[in-house]
Amino acid sequence: MKDALAIHRALLEWEAVHEIVRLPIAMAHADELPKALGLPPDRCLVTRVYACNDVVAGHRFLTGVVVEAGMRPSAEAVRLAVGARLIRPARPDLINTVTEYAANLVSPLLLPASMPLLIDRRIVDGLPGDDVVYTATGEPSTALGIRIRSLYELCHAKPVDLHYVPEEPADPAAPARSRSAAPESRHPVA
């Protein structure tokens, strides 16, 4: 399984400034990072993993989605961004096998090249590039602190507007609703 040491070694090789932080409490899920670090959720990132069926019959793949801790992206936005026909949260055993991380503690770094990675555009656009964010390392007792610009460049995630999806009119003759309509509500994780 991948862990903080594997991430640390890769970041040293890439000459990326970072910090592996020992947490005061162990986490069961990356959504607990804000509480463990005493930081706001927008400074703590979670990588959610989804199982996708492509438009080509029979082609299945996983995709990762980087969001603020405690948030869930719109499944429809993720589906459209990766061109999948069907999408659902991936099973923990599948996440463990494919990513080599503990299912609830997936890092956005060192993921398989075959696994598309998306990042909420608001994270990329909303934080200054030198701001430090924290993410899971695959271990319950550590977190990775890294500048958002470095994380974004190293994980090669595609920025996507994940919290709302443009609606198509039900009747082709009906006028389309404004694409700037109110975004889908941000659903905290239960």
User: What secondary structure does DSSP assign to the chain, as a single string?
Assistant: ---HHHHHHHHHHTT--EEEEEPSS--SSGGGHHHHHT--GGGEEEEEEEEEEESSTT-EEEEEEEEETTEE--HHHHHHHHTEEEEEEPPHHHHHHHH-S-GGG--SSS--TTS-EEEEHHHHHHS-TT-EEEEE-SSTTEEEEEEHHHHHHHHTPEEE--S--PPPPSSTTSPPPPTTSPPPP-EE--
**188 pLDDT above the threshold of 90:** no
Domain segments of the chain as ranges: 4-164
Q: Is the predicted pLDDT of residue 176 greater than 50, yes or no?
A: no
Residues 9-59: tens digit of each pLDDT: 999 999 999 999 999 999 999 999 999 999 999 999 999 999 998 766 668
Task: For residue 133, give the nearest of 62, 63, 30, 6 by alpha carbon.
Answer: 30
With a cut of 50, say whether residue 189 has pLDDT above it: no
The one-letter amino acid code at 125 reads D
Q: Is the pLDDT of residue 165 over 60?
A: no
The answer to which of 18-22, 93-97, 153-157, 169-173 has the lowest mean pLDDT is 169-173
CATH topology of domain 4-164: YbaK protein (3.90.960)
What residue has token string 């162990």?
Answer: 26
What's the pLDDT at 57? 64
- Cα–chain-centroid distance for residue 36? 19
Mean pLDDT across 77-104: 95
Q: CA 13 → CA 6, 130, 182, distances in Å?
A: 11, 20, 43
Q: What is the pLDDT of residues 150-159, one digit of tens each?
A: 999 999 999 9
What is the structure's pLDDT at 56? 66
Question: CA nearest 48: which of 20, 32, 70, 25?
Answer: 70
Lowest mean pLDDT, pick from 70-79, 111-120, 123-132, 156-165: 156-165
Average pLDDT over residues 104-121: 97
